[in-house]
Amino acid sequence: MEYYLCNLVLKGAGGTADHLVAGPWYINGAWPNTFDLGVVPAGGYDGISVDLGLPPALNQTNALPPAMEHVNMAWPIPMGGGYHFMKFEGHFLLQGQPTGFAMHLGKDQNLVHCELSQPFTVGIDQGKLALVFNLNEVFRDPHTYDLSTGNQSMGSDSLMALLRDNCSNAFTFQFLP
Amino acid sequence: MRSRAALLGIAVAAMAVWAGCRKDPAAEMPDPCAFPATPFQLDYHAFFPDPVIPADNPMTVEGIELGRRLYYDPLLSSSGPLAGKSCSSCHFQEHAFTVPDPGVPAIGNTNVMSHCNLAWATHFLWDGSAGPTLEDVMRYEVEEFFRLDVGVLRNHPEYPELFRKAFGTCEVTLPLVEKAMAQWFRRLTSANSKFDRFLKNEEALSPGEWRGFQLFFTEAGDCFHCHSMPLMTDNGFHNIGLDSVFAGQGVGRYAVTGNPMDLGAFKTPTLRNIALTAPYMHDGRFQTLEEVVDFYSAGAKHSPSLDPIMTKPGTGITLGMTAQQKADLVAFLHTLTDEAFVTDTALASPF
């Protein structure tokens, strides 16, 4: 499981300004992932928004530093260039037989925007924002995703559109003062 | 009492000053072993990732030259069961530092991997059991594989001076042998194939090569997920469906991790210079690139640990390529040959 996050916005409330941290951040499910949001103004917030993927300016071949994790996320030039926004691979049971699936998402039009409304208050001390990606939701909300007919998404704009919609509902967060 | 204490204090202070002014005769003597090694800058494209070079083993001209000599010198094995062999016995430059014979008994009939662009690798051997750094691999190669008696080098008429120049020390130790060899392996960089020149707009691909390029980097061939640019490997491990039952060395990465999902998974070999590195696969079962492409087109086998990428849209596991597509793919693979790499005299035997 690999993906990028970017454009994290803490939505200010009651006079608190919005706080944007652009990223991007490469996330790999094989290990814990933490990133620094810098100095967040104390105050009340209505929630957050975050994008899964890369903004168009960075979704171009060789736009990211040539680190190994980025070159392995490259979206091939003959398929438009840029980067995979997400690689989610595994196996599912099809008629009792383990079968592979590869949910790959990319292309500018499939940048996933997530709006997460949940009030929280940031104090003057350090805090943490725990972002959770619920993988079950990738396959069920708002579209029921049928792996038996769509176990590979990368070559299909329609399948990637389903993933984009579903991933927008797949995140939750918790603010830990 | 107060006055004695004050005097004592003055005496101690005076002694400290005096000691500080003393000159250490030894400090004025030049270190007879010191040598200012020449930093070496690895040459590679801007689109290559940053190589893995430990801070305690920077590349130097002298370190690389020592590693080169050790690579080609049978002295490395003189005290072990492989006496008479050097690295170069199974890694020929003209074959991109591998060997055209399938399997070498000394390493259990596994196919010999190419020594190419290992500066960017993090796990080594087909099952990834060596590493994660090249220095770790060299520790295995020098101490366990070749079983080097370092005394052979210490008593050699030339090696001690080569170590002095490489590391600025009169000591010859196993860790320094391993560091020098790691530097040499990082030097084995291939980045000047026709495909590289195509990427830099310096050379065009033929129509067949171009079609093969399109196959390689789209879902039609779907090679790129594991053989990703620019190294043409993702440094990962995959079960590509060679077998459906796994035993012995065929268990692959599972032997290291114990994870059933790693059964039959092997390290993705680089495809750079692949036309020169037959036979293919971990056990050398395919003799030609055509056989390899035939396998991907129609021969993959199901198993619970089959890599998800090998399952094609519709849950099939074959690509069903036409004869023309297969020929085009092979033509593209030939563009990954780096003639400069296999003829560079700086990489050849110094003997």
Chain B positions in Cβ-Cβ contact with residue A71 (cut-off 8 Å): 47, 49, 228-231
Name the residue with higher pLDDT: B38 or B311.
B38
Give the angle subtended at the CA of B272 by the CAs of B266 and B276, to the nearest 5°.
Answer: 95
User: What span, in angstroms and rounded, lies between the C-alpha atoms of A147 and A167?
Assistant: 16
How far, in Å, are A98, B58, B95, B150, B287 from residue B138 at the CA level?
Answer: 39, 15, 21, 14, 29
Peptide bond into A65 cis (omega under 30): no
Q: Return the CATH number of the domain spanning residue range B194-335.
A: 1.10.760.10
Are A14 and A94 spatial neighbours (Cβ–Cβ below 8 Å)? no
How far, in Å, are B164, B211, B219, B328 from residue B207 at the CA level?
Answer: 53, 6, 19, 9
- B48: nearest CA in chain A? A66
- Tens digits of per-residue pLDDT, B211-223? 999 999 998 999 9
The residue with tokens 């268990």 is B251
Is B217 close to A156, i.e. CB distance below 8 A? no
Tell me which of 3.40.50.300, 3.30.1180.20, 1.10.760.10, 3.30.1050.10 is the CATH number of domain B61-191+341-347: 1.10.760.10
- A95: nearest CA in chain B? B315
- Closest by CA to B34, choosing from B154, B133, B170, is B170
Is B218 close to A76, i.e. CB distance below 8 A? yes
Band of pLDDT at residue B102, cut at 50, 70 and 90: low
Chain A positions in Cβ-Cβ contact with residue B120 (cut-off 8 Å): 68
pLDDT of residue B10: 36
pLDDT of residue B315: 62
Q: Is the per-residue pLDDT at B282 higher than 80?
A: yes
pLDDT of residue B82: 87
- Closest by CA to A52, choosing from A10, A117, A115, is A115
Q: Is the per-residue pLDDT at A51 higher than 90?
A: yes
Q: For the residues B101-123, what does the mean pLDDT come to?
A: 78
User: What span, in angstroms and rounded, lies between the C-alpha atoms of B302 and B330?
Assistant: 25
Q: Which of B315, B317, B318 would you mutate first to test chain A, the one with the most A CBs within 10 A?
A: B315
Q: For the residues B181-203, what does the mean pLDDT come to?
A: 96
Q: For the residues A34-59, what does the mean pLDDT come to?
A: 95
User: What span, in angstroms and rounded, lies between the C-alpha atoms of B310 and B326?
Assistant: 17
Say whether B194-335 and B61-191+341-347 share the same fold. Answer: yes
Chain B positions in Cβ-Cβ contact with residue A154 (cut-off 8 Å): 219
Band of pLDDT at residue B103, cut at 50, 70 and 90: very low
Name the residue with higher pLDDT: B151 or B313.
B151
Window from A50-64, A119-133, B225-239, B307-321 with minimum mean pLDDT: B307-321
Are B262 and B252 spatial neighbours (Cβ–Cβ below 8 Å)? yes
pLDDT of residue B47: 87
For chain B, the domains span 61-191+341-347, 194-335
pLDDT of residue B18: 35
- A97: nearest CA in chain B? B304
Q: For the residues A45-62, what does the mean pLDDT come to?
A: 97
Q: For the residues B195-221, what does the mean pLDDT come to?
A: 96
Peptide bond into B279 cis (omega under 30): yes
- Tens digits of per-residue pLDDT, A16-39? 999 999 999 999 999 989 999 999
Band of pLDDT at residue A126, cut at 50, 70 and 90: confident
Is A154 close to B219, i.e. CB distance below 8 A? yes
Out of A71, A100, A154, the one facing B306 most closely (by C-beta) is A100
Alpha carbon dihedral A116, A119, A125, A126, in 10-degree steps, equals -20
Q: Is the per-residue pLDDT at B23 higher than 70?
A: no
Q: Is the per-residue pLDDT at B13 higher than 80?
A: no
User: What span, in angstroms and rounded, lies between the C-alpha atoms of A48 and A65?
Assistant: 27
Question: How far does B181 lie from chain A, in Å, by closest CA?
Answer: 23
Q: Is the per-residue pLDDT at B5 higher than 50?
A: no
Q: Is the per-residue pLDDT at A114 higher than 90?
A: yes
User: What span, in angstroms and rounded, lies between the C-alpha atoms of B248 and B15?
Assistant: 72
Q: For the residues A142-171, what does the mean pLDDT come to?
A: 95
Percent of chain B whose pLDDT exceeds 70: 89
Chain B positions in Cβ-Cβ contact with residue A77 (cut-off 8 Å): 217
Q: Which of B53, B209, B225 would you mutate first to test chain A, the one with the most A CBs within 10 A?
A: B225
Which of left, alpha, beta for B37 (phi over 0: left; psi -120 to 50: alpha)?
beta
> Number of helices and strands (H, E) in chain B?
13, 2
Q: Which of B195, B215, B309 would you mutate first to test chain A, the one with the most A CBs within 10 A?
A: B309
- Tens digits of per-residue pLDDT, A64-102? 998 999 999 999 999 999 999 999 999 999 888 889 999
Band of pLDDT at residue A164, cut at 50, 70 and 90: very high
Complex prediction ipTM: 0.91
Is B217 close to A77, i.e. CB distance below 8 A? yes
- Tens digits of per-residue pLDDT, B125-166? 999 999 899 999 999 999 999 999 999 999 999 999 999 999
pLDDT of residue B26: 56
User: What span, in angstroms and rounded, lies between the C-alpha atoms of A149 and B98?
Assistant: 42
Q: For the residues B276-293, what does the mean pLDDT come to?
A: 95
Q: Is the per-residue pLDDT at A136 higher than 60?
A: yes
pLDDT of residue A125: 81
Chain A positions in Cβ-Cβ contact with residue B302 (cut-off 8 Å): 97
Is B309 close to A155, i.e. CB distance below 8 A? no
Is B304 close to A91, i.e. CB distance below 8 A? yes
Band of pLDDT at residue B72, cut at 50, 70 and 90: very high
Band of pLDDT at residue B6, cut at 50, 70 and 90: very low
User: What span, in angstroms and rounded, lies between the C-alpha atoms of B21 and B34?
Assistant: 26
Is A101 close to B308, i.e. CB distance below 8 A? yes
The residue with tokens 């060395």 is B249
